[in-house]
């Protein structure tokens, strides 16, 4: 399992985890698309925003390996902002390739992306 060095392990001051320490010996937790309801708690929405920001800062528009990224946290973005980067995507593989759908991510989390206008 690839460990993404420099990626934040969790949302500071909370128990919202972004990475896992080691592979699960009982099997890989699958990534599944979770529905985000509009009445989610502010802390949950903040965790999604910070995680999306970290993904963009770390990987940008390039495909990335799932590695030690938390399946639960990825699942809140999967199928919308984070999509498979390969036709043979396996949701139960640590080697699965993902990518950010930048257009969708910018609409969902505009705060996660730096201002590209060049204005001060």
Give residue 120's pLDDT.
44
Residue 15 belongs to some domain of the structure: no
**C-alpha distances in Å from residue 16, one per residue of 19, 57, 80:** 10, 19, 20
Give residue 25's pLDDT.
82
Give residue 12's pLDDT.
86
Kind of pairing between the strands at 64-65 and 82-84: unpaired
pLDDT tens per residue across all 120 residues of the chain: 889 989 999 888 888 999 998 888 888 999 999 999 888 899 999 999 999 999 999 999 999 999 999 999 999 999 999 999 999 999 999 999 999 999 999 999 999 887 754 454
The Cα 106–Cα 109 span in angstroms is: 5
Q: Which residue has the tokens 């799932």?
A: 66
Residue 86 belongs to some domain of the structure: yes
Q: Containing domain of residue 64, as a range? A: 42-112
Residue 27 belongs to some domain of the structure: no
Residue 63 belongs to some domain of the structure: yes
Residue 65 belongs to some domain of the structure: yes
Residue 4 belongs to some domain of the structure: no
Residue 107 belongs to some domain of the structure: yes
The answer to whether 18 and 73 are in contact (CB under 8 A) is yes
Q: What is the DSSP letter of 5?
A: T
Q: How many domains does the chain have?
A: 1
């Amino acid at each position: 399992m690839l460990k993404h060095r420099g990626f934040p392990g969790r949302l500071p001051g909370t128990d919202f985890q972004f990475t896992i320490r080691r592979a699960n010996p009982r099997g890989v937790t699958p990534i599944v698309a979770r529905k985000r309801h509009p009445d989610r708690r502010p802390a949950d929405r903040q965790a999604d925003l910070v995680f999306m920001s970290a993904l963009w800062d770390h990987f940008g528009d390039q495909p990335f390996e799932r590695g030690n990224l938390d399946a639960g946290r990825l699942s809140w973005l999967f199928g919308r902002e984070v999509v498979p980067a390969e036709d043979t995507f396996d949701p139960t593989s640590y080697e699965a390739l993902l990518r950010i759908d930048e257009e969708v991510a910018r609409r969902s989390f505009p705060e996660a992306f730096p201002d590209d206008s060049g204005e001060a």
